[in-house]
Amino acid sequence: MKIEMALDFFLSACYIKGLLPRSIDNYDKFVNRFINTIGDIDIKDLDYEVITGYIESLYKLNLSKATIGTYIRHLKVFYGIWKRKSILNLYHIE
């Protein structure tokens, strides 16, 4: 599955779970920046090099550490769901 499609599923699950619209918008914004940087690759191709390369690109933009931390936190939540290979966790389906 391509990462943009994975993001669509993730955002839908966040909406169904009842997250605030601003939270959903933030996930969309921060994860889309990641996608725009790395391209719409297959989610199974996300690896250490891709993610650390993205983080390094954030540091090159001279963003504050707090801002970079925000980008990383949003990415961790998004990627963590897929790493566990179960978007169903967001829907509370076993």
Query: Are the beta carbons of 47 and 8 closer than 8 angstroms?
Result: no
Q: Which residue has the higher pLDDT, 87 or 7?
A: 7
pLDDT tens-digit readout, 8-60: 989 998 999 899 999 999 999 999 999 999 999 988 888 889 999 999 999 99
DSSP conformation letters of 45-59? G--HHHHHHHHHHHH
Question: What DSSP state is assigned to residue 43?
Answer: G
Q: In this predicted structure, what is the pLDDT of residue 85? A: 59
Using DSSP, state whether 2 is helix, strand or coil. Answer: strand
- pTM of the full structure: 0.82
Q: CA nearest 7: which of 92, 86, 78, 77?
A: 78
